[in-house]
Structure 1
């Protein structure tokens, strides 16, 4: 906003909420991957297998219409798609909860799923206190 002098018309608090929910999901994913990997190099490989396709297929660099029709359904498997859509709606259109409810729901379910899976995996491996 300050650096690029872009127009921001939405709620900064709502944007922060969306980012925090997504970050919680990423933390769960990171914990899950670190628990599944045998060493740090394997964890980095797992992360790259998720991050790179996610960046390419999530409308971060080009619109979904620019993708091959066979790849378009994959866009909706990545939580980053919903983060991008929610942030774009908040920042550029001034959307509130009613405008991003689907994105917020998907991101919340992603966060809960990743945290749940990481806790279950850690308990299975004997890391519980």
Structure 2
């Protein structure tokens, strides 16, 4: 039609010409491979939240927390004792999740498996610390369950698990970047699908963000416990 109208046919040619195989992944990418790293971290994170969100509430209701304070036990000692004991259970949950994801469901992983394990454990520890924040704030177990469930949907929808943050509006994208799972999801996706190592910016940002959120949640838990104690 362009030639019949005496118009150069180059005008209607595609601007981008795909002539070589893609650097990362197949020609037709799978949504399963895209979403699997985010779902793995989400499962591990909220399993850890469920593990610890009622730990301090039960002790407070049974009077064990007050007895510990009277005996001279510091809030930091109570908190870190829970972290150490619950961490063992969380490691078992993480190992099972990784086995099912990689061995049973055959999710593709072309990167370093050790980095995948470490980042997943860090996110599990981050979920534990978030659960302690919920447990320190709430006085009833049902309130803790509602708070944990209420944080689930915004985290899943805005962390780039299903909806890529590049497709969000600018304001919403900045909010998503400050969620605990966002940068870790991007890092795990880069490791599993692209084979990137720790030297890449997107990868070590995920590790730094996970460690930073762990520290933030632990400090918040300590401050809330000290405030409620006094």
Give the corresponding residue for 2:186.
85
Contact 2:184–2:209, Cα closer than 8 Å, also in 1: no
The alignment of Structure 1 onto Structure 2 pairs a total of residues equal to 127
Structure 1 residues 8, 78: CA separation in 2 closer, same or farther (over 3 Å shift)? same
Larger Rg: 2
Give the corresponding residue for 2:107.
6
1:119 paired to 2:119: no
Give the drift of 1:102. Answer: 1.3
TM-score scaled by structure 1? 0.86
Contact 2:134–2:144, Cα closer than 8 Å, also in 1: yes
Contact 2:133–2:221, Cα closer than 8 Å, also in 1: yes
Give the corresponding residue for 2:129.
28
Structure of greater relative contact order (alpha carbons < 8 Å, 6+ residues apart) = 1
Contact 1:25–1:115, Cα closer than 8 Å, also in 2: no
1:105 paired to 2:105: no
Give the drift of 1:108. Answer: 0.6
Question: Which secondary structure state, in structure 2, belongs to the residue aligned with residue 113 of structure 1?
Answer: helix
Q: Which runs of 5+ in 1 are unaligned?
A: none
Question: Which secondary structure state, in structure 2, belongs to the residue aligned with residue 7 of structure 1?
Answer: coil
TM-score scaled by structure 2? 0.51
Q: Which runs of 5+ in 2 are unaligned?
A: 1-101
- How far apart, in 1, do the equivalents of 2:171 and 2:217 lie? 27
- How far apart, in 2, do the equivalents of 1:3 and 1:80 lie? 24
- How far apart, in 2, do the equivalents of 1:125 and 1:11 lie? 44
